[in-house]
Amino acid sequence: MDFLTKEIIYQKSSQEITSLLYEALIDNTKQAIQDIEASKLIEANGKLKKVNDILERLGVGINYEAGIIADQLDALYNYMADLVIKANIKKDIKPLKEVLSILEDISGAWQTAMKNNKSTQIQQQLFKKANAYEKNVMVYERDMNTVEEGK
C-alpha cells in the first residue's frame, strides 16, 4: 500500500477507506505468512496484531441498518479474527491462508461494487445535466409561431 497522508485520507469516501483497509489486511496477512515461514515470529506477531485491529475497526464501522448482509459480514470478521488469533498462537499459516482467501474474495466484491456504484453515479449526473438542459432549452412551436421556454 502506498504511503498516505492524513489529508489524502480525509479526502477519501468511506467506501474508499474500506477498500484501503481491505488492502492493508491482505498485505499484512501475506507478510505475516512470509514471516512465519522465515521464522520471524516477532514480526509475524506484530503484523497479525494489526490484522486483528483492522478487522475490529471494520466490524465497528458496519451499518447494521443494511440488513442481513451486515450481520453476516460481522460474523465473517469475527470468524477471521478468531482464525488470526489461533494462527498467531500456534504460528500456523494454514488458518492465515484461509483468512487471506476470504479477504481477497471480499476485497474483490467490494471493488466491483465500488465500480458499479461509480458508473451509476456518473449516469445519474448525466441524467441530471440532461434534465437541466431540457428545462432551459428554447422550443419553437410551429402552430403559434412563438418561442416558449421549458417544454
Residue 115: predicted pLDDT: 86
Considering the domain boundaries, does residue 41 fall inside one? yes
Considering the domain boundaries, does residue 59 fall inside one? yes
For residue range 2-35, what is the model confidence (pLDDT) as tens digits? 556 777 777 778 888 899 999 999 999 999 999 9
For residue range 86-114, what is the model confidence (pLDDT) as tens digits? 999 999 999 999 999 999 999 999 999 88
25 closest CA partner among 105, 86, 91, 92: 105
pLDDT band of residue 140 (cuts 50, 70, 90) is very low
109 closest CA partner among 135, 146, 72, 137: 72
d(CA 36, CA 89): 12
pTM of this structure: 0.72
* Number of domains, the chain: 1
> Which domain, by its residues, includes 35?
12-109
User: Could you give the count of Cα atoms lying within 13 Å of 16 in the half-sphere of its Cβ?
Assistant: 8
Phi, psi dihedrals of residue 3, rounded to the nearest 5°: -70, 130
Domain CATH number, residue 98:
1.20.120.340
Considering the domain boundaries, does residue 89 fall inside one? yes
